[in-house]
Amino acid sequence: MIETAPFGSTGHLSSRVIFGGAALGAMSQERATATLDLAVAAGVNHLDTAHSYGHAEVVMNPWLAEHRSEVFLATKTRERSGEAARAGLEDSLRRLGVDQVDLIQLHNLVEEDEWREAFAPGGAVEALAAARDEGLVRFVGVTGHGLRIPAMHMRSLDEFAFDSVLFPLNFSLLKSDAFAADVDELIARCVENGIAIQTIKSVAKSRWESGYDGPRFSWYEPLRDEGAVGRAVRFVLGREHLFLNSTSDGGVLPMVLDAAKRATVGDVPTDDEMEHDLRRFEIAPLFDGADLERI
């Protein structure tokens, strides 16, 4: 079974793999239910979705009707105004068929104008804190994509006591010395203050090649080699305090879950192993120096 660890200071022992609900976005109800059952059977007890995932929240509803008490449930909002963030949260509760989510997260809070609006009086941060006080949510987090996000998370933490952060992390991204330094600083701060640390894009290979016309279940191409997936998972879960959010490509999920069952803190692949995978599978960072972001 997948190991559990304290999810920050929430008091919940979360599975170190968090199920990424975006994977359900294009699934039938039957397949979505089977996918959730597969994850839980492997030891997953923490589900993450978002209002912007749309259909994913809808197909989670029947499953949650029978299993809500068994999982820590998180969703996200892209909205920056307080009124819109509150409306989105209420819509997510309706779709999911629940009275409360455990965690609501500000989705990809990185752009300056959006950041200022979210933290302004009447903004999303104020509204979500009020929703927490009313019991609609238990905790509030912040997420983001791209090379800028660890530094932006530190800025956000200066303004509000978020319970969790989420950011991309894999071997290729840490080739950027500036990004790696920001990640180290953010992790240290979160560990010191009991803030849960979630990571995404762990099994990303690269952006899709131009001209590729096959099926896509994510905006990036994931790794599909079992060994490479296993090493990518261990690269994250071999480090203490980190949680790994699974990919939105449901076809890769079984490999992620199998690798996570064997992952333990301290068992991190060597740089030589990761460099070999980088060359063999042509792995490339999803974000470049200009921090182009596609979500």
Q: Tell me the C-alpha distance between 125 and 163, whole Å.
A: 13
Q: What is the pLDDT of residue 214?
A: 66
Q: What is the pLDDT of residues 35-86, one digit of tens each?
A: 999 999 999 999 999 999 989 999 999 999 999 999 999 999 999 999 999 9
Report the DSSP beta bridge partners of residue 28: none
Element (H or E) spanning 206, and its range? Answer: strand 204-207
Taking residues 259-283, what's their average pLDDT? Answer: 96
Q: What is the pLDDT of residue 291?
A: 52
List of residues 6+ apart from 240 with CB closer than 8 A: 265
Taking residues 284-290, what's their average pLDDT? Answer: 75
Q: What is the pLDDT of residue 209?
A: 78
Q: Sketch out the chain's domains with CATH numbers.
A: 4-280 (3.20.20.100)
List of residues 6+ apart from 284 with CB closer than 8 A: 172, 205, 206, 207
Model confidence band, residue 295 (pLDDT cutoffs 50, 70, 90): very low
- Counted residue by residue, the chain has a size of 295
Element (H or E) spanning 191, and its range? Answer: helix 177-193
Q: Are 140 and 128 in contact (CB under 8 A)?
A: yes
Tokens of 43: 């030891």
Is the model's pLDDT at 292 over the cut of 50? no
Q: What is the pLDDT of residues 198-233, one digit of tens each?
A: 999 999 998 877 766 667 777 888 899 999 999 999
- The two beta strands, 4-6 and 46-48, are unpaired
DSSP 43: T
Crossing angle for the helix pair 253-262 and 226-237, nearest 10 degrees? Answer: 50
Query: In degrees to the nearest 10, what's the CA dihedral of 95, 197, 164, 99?
Result: 30
Q: Which residue has the tokens 């933290």?
A: 119
List of residues 6+ apart from 77 with CB closer than 8 A: 50, 51, 84, 85, 88, 89, 92, 104, 105, 106, 107, 124, 128
Tokens of 100: 């409360």
Taking residues 9-19, what's their average pLDDT? Answer: 98
Q: What is the pLDDT of residue 141?
A: 98
Instruction: Give the closest residue to 276 by CA, choosing from 222, 221, 231.
Output: 231
Burial of 58 (0-12, 13-18, 19+ CB in 10 A): middle
What is the model's pTM? Answer: 0.95
Model confidence band, residue 26 (pLDDT cutoffs 50, 70, 90): confident
- The two beta strands, 220-222 and 204-207, are antiparallel
Q: What is the pLDDT of residue 289?
A: 53
